[in-house]
Structure 1
Amino acid sequence: MKLLFVADPIESFKAYKDTTYTMMREAQRRGHAIAVCEPRHLRWQSGGQVMAQVRDIRLTGNEDDWFTEVGTRDLALSEFDAVLMRKDPPFDAEFIYATHLLEQAEREGARVINSPQALRNHPEKLAVMEFQQYLGPTLVTRSPEDVKRFHAEHGEIVLKPLDGMGGMGIFRVGPDGLNLGSITETLNHHGATTFMVQKFLPEIVAGDKRIILIDGQPAPYVLARIPQGSEVRGNLAAGGKGVAQPLTDTDRATALAIGQVLAPRGLLLIGLDIIGTKVTEINVTSPTGFREILDQTGCDVPALFVDAVERAVAR
């Protein structure tokens, strides 16, 4: 297969832990050709197809200097067997524009994973609203008064922006409400921006569990991201410790129920986040955790994913 990865600049990858790198490594091991581009390289002109300036690369096997560039060329996305959208958040206007270009490429015959329309329709924080039976108390608002009432009801809360990643912009407020007004102003930009508030889940001490769903099926191990020291965030980017653990029966049931709804919509890869038994986020843009699970357990999640890509292309 010829695979195109649409991602952040590959020079920024930390190969020793990057999930997209593990996908590329497994794909190359199977003999598939790898090309990369960034969303800014996508373009379309009437009368033609969605094109991109792509870089053909080969992986070296050395994680310090992990790729060599074979060449650069302009190609239509439809010339690839699969286009893998792996751009990290923020889920901003430019991300949305990229999904529209990718959707046009689909109309021209490209196979895009995850589906561009599904990416647009399932913002990572807001996608949880469809599955209320698995949520803890959650509020989406821009109103300070709503936040005050929610805090008064639940005592200890977590506030976070809707377009971030890696734990960016997450605040915990205790029963005393210290700095609640200031934090609200920071997140809602004085009433201009909607954000999310959730009841604090003390089970976070055991980790924020990342479940990898591939074509609706959960991987047999999860990555529990455990906060360190006084930090409330378990995100690895925020200093959390990643510990791979077997998937529990309860979490498997939740993951299967959600996966069976979302996979048919074109979400081949999902990162489902659960604290205790409560779903907190449904990550669809560029879910991570492959490398940590592989290194700690030997469970070859990259191989499971490339298997699924091969099946999707063959359909």
Structure 2
Amino acid sequence: MALSLGFLMDPLESVRVDHDTTFSLMLEAQRRGHDVYYFEQGWLRFNGRCSEARMRRVKVRREVGHHFDVLSEDVRPLSKLDVLFLRKDPPVDADYLHATQLVELCPDRSPIFINNPSGIRDANEKLFTLNFPDLMPETRVTRELSVVLEFAAKNPQGTILKPIDGFGGKGILFLAPGDRNARSMVELLTQGGKEPILAQAYVPESRLGDKRIILVDGDPVGAVLRVPSDADHRGNMAAGGTPMKAEITERDLLICKRLKPSLQEKGLTLVGIDVLGDYLTEVNVTSPTGLVEASHLDGVSCEARVLDVAERMHGAR
């Protein structure tokens, strides 16, 4: 049975066809005979009764420079979609949060959401992890300079500083013990004490790579190790990290098992968690990446597992 699958995402013209997770999901949906619709956040609106959007039905192909054709374009209520993938990249700003509220305004028939809008709002990718402190490196969240400096003084290996709403490795700083830039770094990230940040004990194993594990309905389906360059402490592929094959360890499976009930309760079907050594550092729920690399390196199809779950959820409805 052909389904109508929508993708709320960034401009399709700008995707990297060899890397983009959303594009890979679209290809798999098309391979299965489903109708693929795409629209951007700015095309979403409310018509007085329900939410609708200007949508493009597209045909996609993994061909750089000619990766999609527009088959039709019209305004459609979201209730006409069977499944809606919320894949708009961060930042999670006011416009983003408003979009997660608008897509829920379908009183007659809501699509199945991947991921659930309320779950996305609840699960900040840095702060949600704090629900599992025993799985994490020692962590503080504060905007106070003195608290960060006191915490950093207790970490002989160094301290990682992160903006709470950062993404793609942007704004992540390594604070070495005794660094004379410490005050300036904290003042910069906190905007002079106005914004809280996350401070985390440095995990030396991060030099070996930052492991992204893809979870579908709470279960691990693939992984990729993102290895930082010699000139950077960040393994994010957006920051120049190199993807390499990764083993899912017993510790990784334990972390996934602990997270699964909370993820399922919040309707977070497609998630990418980040693990450094034995420690969970982030739970990515907005538009987690790494599916293409994990599928290639592990010889699996993570995107097929996602579509399997989407079809099963539709069938159950």
Same structural fold, with TM-score higher than 0.5 when normalized by the shorter chain: yes
Aligned pairs, number: 313
Q: Give the alignment partner of residue 33 of structure 2, picking from 28, 31, 37.
A: 31
The answer as to whether partners of 2:50 and 2:107 remain within 8 angstroms in 1 is no
C-alpha distance in 2 between matches for 1:61 and 1:250: 36
C-alpha distance in 2 between matches for 1:103 and 1:195: 30
Structure 1 unaligned regions, length at least 5: none
Q: Closer, same or farther in 2 for the Cα pair 1:106/1:23, shift >3 Å?
A: farther
Q: Give the alignment partner of residue 192 of structure 2, picking from 184, 190, 193.
A: 190
> What letter is aligned with 1:25?
L
C-alpha distance in 2 between matches for 1:17 and 1:45: 36
SS in structure 2 of the partner of residue 233 of structure 1: coil
C-alpha distance in 2 between matches for 1:255 and 1:106: 34
SS in structure 1 of the partner of residue 105 of structure 2: helix
Q: Give the alignment partner of residue 14 of structure 1, picking from 13, 16, 21.
A: 16
TM-score of the aligned structures, taking structure 2 as reference length: 0.96
> How far is the alpha carbon of 1:108 from its aligned partner?
4.3
Q: After superposition, give the CA deviation of every residue in 1:235-289 in whole Å (9 maximum; x if it has no partner).
A: 0011111112231121012112212321232000110101001110000000111
Q: After superposition, give the CA deviation of every residue in 1:159-192 in whole Å (9 maximum; x if it has no partner).
A: 0111121100010010113311111111111121
C-alpha distance in 1 between matches for 2:167 and 2:180: 25
How well do the aligned residues superpose, as a CA RMSD in angstroms? 1.3
SS in structure 1 of the partner of residue 70 of structure 2: strand
Q: How do residues 185-224 of structure 1 correspond to structure 2 at under 5 angstroms?
A: 185-219=187-221, 221-224=222-225
C-alpha distance in 2 between matches for 1:106 and 1:227: 47
Q: Give the alignment partner of residue 175 of structure 1, picking from 174, 177, 185.
A: 177
Structure 2 unaligned regions, length at least 5: none
> How far is the alpha carbon of 1:67 from its aligned partner?
0.5
**Matching residue of 1:267:** 268
The answer as to whether partners of 2:104 and 2:110 remain within 8 angstroms in 1 is no
Identity over aligned residues, as a percent?
36
**Matching residue of 2:294:** 293
SS in structure 1 of the partner of residue 192 of structure 2: coil
C-alpha distance in 2 between matches for 1:43 and 1:35: 16
> How far is the alpha carbon of 1:89 from its aligned partner?
0.6
SS in structure 1 of the partner of residue 66 of structure 2: coil
TM-score of the aligned structures, taking structure 1 as reference length: 0.96
Q: How do residues 90-109 of structure 1 correspond to structure 2 at under 5 angstroms?
A: 90-105=91-106, 108-109=109-110
Q: How do residues 1-315 of structure 1 correspond to structure 2 at under 5 angstroms?
A: 1-46=3-48, 48-105=49-106, 108-155=109-156, 156-219=158-221, 221-315=222-316
